[in-house]
Amino acid sequence: MRTAAILPVKSFARAKRRLCSELAANDRRALVESMFADALVALGRVAALERVIVVSGDHVAQRIAAGYGANVVEDDERGHNTAAMRGIRFALEQKVERALLVPGDCPLLSPRDIEALLAHSGGERSALIVPDRHGTGTNALLLTPPDVLAPSFGPDSRRRHLGDAQANDVPAEVVELDSLALDVDTPDDLQALQRRLAGLHGGAAHTRGMLNQLMRARA
């Protein structure tokens, strides 16, 4: 089945403002770029993905995406869900049959987890929902076909996606994936990421290196 990953990416300069108590603006931007690069590296190692589509109005994000061989779709920064729909429309134009919507701030993303999700039988019309570590948000959607369900990311999105699927008679299932559970939005998320990285050998090379650099600068 022809499958694409779609990453809606907010302008780096406006991203992760909830981390302002922990990181200066330039440091937040550097961290976001690093997490985005790690996500692209992981997705690029998934053979079942025909293409990666990045939706962003940020020129730096566009250059990074192009450098990793991703398709770039221009965005007008009207929100994550609007950007996701832009990516879905582009995917449909490219005759993609299945779309994996993932964020650019899950640096622990594992190719093995993505392969397992893509191998999960959802049927010809389905929505697989990957929750965040709190169990209330959505960190990924696997949609077959790509427009089977309108993305509705944001607070309490797990419940909303399940409700929308039920209302539209779309078979839906929640699939928990460890490497997609942790997205980084708050200081607590950042601390959780640092603890996870400390217990892992390898992985998230860009993010690991950037965090080490930021910690050295603070010392």
Mean pLDDT value across residues 44-60:
97
- Residue listed under structure tokens 């250059």: 63
Predicted confidence at residue 207, as pLDDT, reads 96
Q: Bridge-partner residues for 74, per DSSP?
A: 56
Predicted confidence at residue 119, as pLDDT, reads 94
What's the rounded Cα separation, in Å, for the pair 38 and 211? 13
- 93 phi and psi angles, rounded to 5 deg: -60, -30
Does residue 79 carry a pLDDT above 80? yes
pLDDT tens digit sequence for 4-20: 999 999 998 888 888 88
What's the rounded Cα separation, in Å, for the pair 193 and 26? 19
Show the tokens assigned to 178.
């460890």
What's the rounded Cα separation, in Å, for the pair 146 and 184? 26
pLDDT tens digit sequence for 22-39: 888 999 999 999 999 999
Q: What is the pTM of this model?
A: 0.94
Q: Supply the DSSP symbol for 71.
A: E
Burial of 83 (0-12, 13-18, 19+ CB in 10 A): buried
Predicted confidence at residue 3, as pLDDT, reads 98
Domain boundaries, the chain: 3-218
Q: CATH class for domain 3-218?
A: alpha beta
Does residue 122 carry a pLDDT above 80? no
**Banded model confidence at residue 111, pLDDT cuts 50, 70, 90:** very high
Mean pLDDT value across residues 53-68:
97
Predicted confidence at residue 219, as pLDDT, reads 60
Does residue 121 carry a pLDDT above 80? no
| pLDDT averaged over every residue in the chain | 94
Does residue 195 carry a pLDDT above 90? yes
**Banded model confidence at residue 77, pLDDT cuts 50, 70, 90:** confident
